[in-house]
Amino acid sequence: MSRKEPQTAISVLSDFKNHLVDFFDDLIALFPEEGDLLYMRIFIKDRVPIVDVMKRFVVELDGNSGRVRSLIKKHDDIFFLERNLFDDFSKSKASHFKGLWTSPTIDDSEREVIWNWMHAFVILVDNWKKVTDS
């Protein structure tokens, strides 16, 4: 049995970035006509320092007395309709996601996949906080 190496800030950020890119790949597959999703994927992958995105996620998840965490845990649609984790990076593109959540082209099983992504991001944020004492 091999021992798992302890996570470092760099490894958590790498996982976070890879997960975000994969998340946008999934969204692009669901909504291939939505060029804004491709823009956000490129933006996350190549244009913005991933540490800035992580810090934004930390602020969003830990602000408002943990309200965002609670919305994610309960799978409350308000999370997608009233908030957007990407607004600070590209307001004109990110707010478009809110309309996608209510689109008739997405079904409950696809929404569940998106919720699973949100749970994964919460875990990655918590891992980041552990390795950085944030």
Contacts 24+ apart (CB under 8 A), 112-118: 113/26, 114/26, 114/27, 115/72, 115/75, 117/19, 117/23, 117/26, 118/72, 118/79
Domain ranges of the chain: 9-128
**Lowest-pLDDT range of 3-12, 67-76, 109-118:** 3-12
* pTM of the predicted structure, to 2 decimals: 0.86
User: In whole angstroms, what is the distance from residue 57 CA to residue 51 CA?
Assistant: 10
Q: How far apart are CA 2 and CA 132, in angstroms?
A: 25
Each residue's pLDDT tens digit, 42-68: 989 999 999 999 998 998 888 777 888
Residue 13: per-residue pLDDT: 97
Residue 50: what residue type?
Answer: I
Structure letter (DSSP) for residue 63: S
- pLDDT score of 125: 95
